Amino acid sequence: MRRRASRRAALGFLVAIAGALIATGCDSLPGRPKGDADESAQATDFETLYANNCAGCHGADGRRGPALALHDPLYLALVPPDRLRSIVEDGVPGTAMTAFSKRSGGSLTGAQIDALVHGLREQWSRAEAPLGAAPPPYGAPLGDSGRGAGVYAAACASCHGAEGHGGAKGHDIVDPSFLALVSDQALRTTVIVGRTDLGMPDWRGKHGTPLTSQQVSDLVAWIAAHRAPVVGRPASGDPRG
């Protein structure tokens, strides 16, 4: 009798659970994906998209992150709009910049990428950038590393040290781990737009002596020459990134 009563009690407990699931719906099971109800997967709001996908590398407000500042009118004036979208969509092979487009293995739809790129330009660009000065072109072939050593000594060594291994005001820019994470184009972009959020001036320098496009190319060649081979990276001089 006791065993039969126990079976009845267990059966009643299972029936109660089944009734609760029917009443609440299977979607309320803990851990079950909620599909379209997940707002972050469907968001086209710039702030949400940026916070969820970009802030970890580029900083919470587009500045002071480990990667290039996106909240920078000079950068947004320099980079071609189609190139900016391509970087978000497909990433930069061989670097830490991953692809975000679903067709390339990422998590964002075309509409979300449109919203993200439009938001960057709408909120963080300025019509007057770059303040009337014409910066060197966004992309260009690598120059001569021998000449680049002289450019480095004149324009960069006071902050980054005589050999590029870091100084009182700048980090090590020839460190193999650092160079393994960035493309040649990323180096060129940083030389041109600087990291003003971290105190690094743009191509015009601290004393108003701008670098020419050739000097930028030579300087990038000198820095890139310190890079150790990285599996999967395009050949040096590839314009992507």
Highest mean pLDDT among 7-21, 134-148, 221-235: 134-148
CA–CA distance, 183 with 139 (Å, rounded to integer): 12
Cis amide prior to 176 (ω within 30 degrees): no
Q: Structure pTM?
A: 0.76
Average pLDDT on 220-238 reads 76
- The phi-psi region of residue 156 (left if phi > 0; otherwise alpha if psi is between -120 and 50; otherwise beta) is alpha
Average pLDDT on 7-33 reads 36
Residue 219's φ and ψ, nearest 5 degrees, are: -65, -45
Average pLDDT on 77-99 reads 93
CA–CA distance, 91 with 137 (Å, rounded to integer): 21
